[in-house]
Structure 1
Amino acid sequence: MSDFYAALVESTDDAIVAKDVNGTVLSWNPAAVRLFGYSEAEMVGQSIVQLLPDDRLDEEVNILTRIRAGERVGQFFTKRRHKSGRLIDVSVTVSPVHDKDGNVVGASKIARDATQVLERERRLRQSEARFHMLADNIAPFAWIAEPSGNIIWYNKRWYDYTGTTLEDMRGWGWTKVHHPDHVDRVREHIKSCFESGEEWEDTFPLRSKEGEYRWFLSRAKPIREEHGNIIWWFGTNTDITEQREQAEQIRLLLMEVNHRSKNMLSTIQALIRRSVKDNDGFIARFQDRIRSLAVNQDILVRREWREVPVEELARLQLAFVMDAPGEITISGSEFPLNPRAAEIIGMALHELATNSLKYGALSAGGGQVSIGWEVDEEGGLFSMHWTESGGPQVTAPEQTGFGSTLIAEVPRRFFGGEAGIDYASSGISWSLKAPLAMIRAGLSQSAATN
């Protein structure tokens, strides 16, 4: 058996060193040669202190004191000097060796190169420090939850704002800082997302440690492992109180501008009625066009002067003829118009509807008006049509007026495409073809010319 144990000591990758209670080396295995660079002949009979850097001499004194007392020294990390003079990181355990009477006669030391272990720990500490530096200094609150939704971590920003602790917030404790008017809705929504695995987004107020409520845009994203199973949820809460206040101010301003501009349009209508006499037809058409502008303004203000869906524009502009004798059908995919395009197309639709109600398919039972549009993404083209049938027989006008300008000239000139009206006897038809860059919301006019 002694030969077997000797073979173990000789073949192990751990440096195994035997020393007496004074620190004199008694045995030195091959792994110790590889680790420290000294041969067995160079170390046996020498003090183990030879391996210690100057600033760690007290370390060996402490070890020997504990060994003499029969105490085992558990694993610890330290530095030792290689024969070349360089310092190496090692992990060390030291155990007392007893004789048959139980007396401590020496020590068995096991040492292992700890360079890689300590480097991994250093990188881990560095990574953790960077994470906390980032997480605790970003503007949003941040948090991590288990797959069930049980929140286990918040960044410092959360605690600074709410004045809470992790113990207060564990699990679903976050509901304590939610506004009572919103908490049930928020809880049900996020619970549904936790169960379905869908990304979560919501807006609600949170209470600060001073008792003030501020609004936050909150999102959470599921973090999945390689097989798609959710292992964590990562969430953020971004303060949008000022943005909400600014948006409300802008909304009120737009409403005020809309109100004043409508008053101005009313003033213009009154001036026209007083200035143009004995021409009721002209005054009526002019008032119709003013009302069309007002409808466009209402739509744009409600949409915060951004995008207007084609279908919404068509239905609102044609609301005044929906009870006409003729029938209107509207079809087309969802498509957002930019504000200027909405104004021009809205005026054209209103003009077409007014004419149809007086002279065309909408003036008689059985008349049909078909309105539709198509989007050709590959060709970069938007197409729209107005087609009438089943109404009175159509004859082309001998001369064109301002209505024709609204229907054809203005769209053609502004969009740089094609716009025109065909006076077929079976019913008039209007068509528009325009570059998407001039029509779609989110694209500037300059995009069409680049």
Structure 2
Amino acid sequence: MHQQSALFHFTDRLYRARNLDQIYSAALDAIADMLGCTRASILQFDDKGVLRFAAWRRLSEEYRRGVEGHSPWQPGHEEPAPVYLGDIGHADLPSDLAALIRLEGIGALAFIPVMVSQGMAGKFTLYYEGPHLFTNEERELALIIARQLGFAIERHHSDQTARRFTALVESSDDAIISKNLEGIIISWNAGAERLFGYGAPEAIGRSVMMLIPPDRHNEEPAILARIRAGERIDHYETIRRRKDGGLVDISLSVSPIKNAEGVIIGASKIARDITERRRAQEQQQLLLHEMDHRVKNLFALATSIVNLSVASAETPAALASIVADRLGALSRAHALTLASRTVGNGFRKTATLHALIEAILAPYVEGAEGERKRFTVEGIDIELAESTVTPVALLLHEFATNAAKYGSFSTSGGRVEIECRRRGGDVVLVWRELGGPTVQPSDTEGFGSRLVRLAASQFGGFSRQWHPEGLVIELTMDISRVGA
């Protein structure tokens, strides 16, 4: 009757234990109570497969240090048999181990394996001061204690794993959901609440179909069929619906959930919001397509410049110089556009008219510190549409090149005054040359003139007037066509 009461008390203490120390203490008390053994120890395998003392009663440090690691078993041993040494004096032991045991005052001992579902986890050891006859009842009680101790240790580790898993799930930024094989939600973490807008009480017990847009209802039966077949689904990109009706791009991973017998009973789903990634991919594709378009345009424009420049060049060196100058102007305009487009987050922002004029006429700023600027820019400024930056840059380059050859930039004291004004729905750029040589009107249309006429026709008109003090050009641009 006493043994039954002690066993009940032991089982109750194991059930109430909250940590391994309480489990070990309950086991050592049960050993002393049911087996009349006041000296005992519990050893468990460490990560390297060595038996280490986990708890003990009335054993010296020298003894523990000397015998630690000695074991007839290895971790995971499936059917180890208990070892009973009723008289150490007649036991077949290594001489050094036998001497250490006798020095500790031990006359008899027993090794009782402690088992978990994966195999052997450790042992507990009984110590008696003199020889001891282990009865069948004692042997049976020892096995019962070992069995209960193994259950308690395994439950503790399972609880710890479950708590860690629960903490991981609840702290995850991803939505983690579990459902049964009928698609009914049975768990819902905080990440799912943030992603889909439903609280756990609203979601648990409802069909996962509430998250699926009507045009994708065929996805869930297909997913459940694969789960029933034991398949895992990795990084499946799809669309789901929030509580507010909005749609969200997600990457979905689904894994089968199995019970203790290995039977599939449900599925766990991890959903990650990929809206920003999708947006970044779309932006990347847009920029790649735009870059492809711009590069092709630049090649076409460069080819056109080379072909048309041949007619006006008298020598290969002159051709090279003309082409290099014109391509340089395009390069400065392109660099200006690229710099302005990357300011902040405004990917569609482009160059202003004043900034473009300053960039194209930069070669006509003299002095190490730019103290002598041979042009002025006044009047209104506008942001240019990206498609107009290149043709306007070419026009300005042609104006400046002609001024350097024949006009105000050809003399040391010449200058250019540029005024931008509004006239109805147009922006008018007035280019006025001063201080240059006397110029005469020409009826001949060279490449530069053809280029100016063709470029100007894209967005407005163009006129030239020869005055005694210098050439005056008016470039008229329809603001609805050139403005950003």
TM-score calculated relative to the size of structure 1: 0.39
TM-score calculated relative to the size of structure 2: 0.37
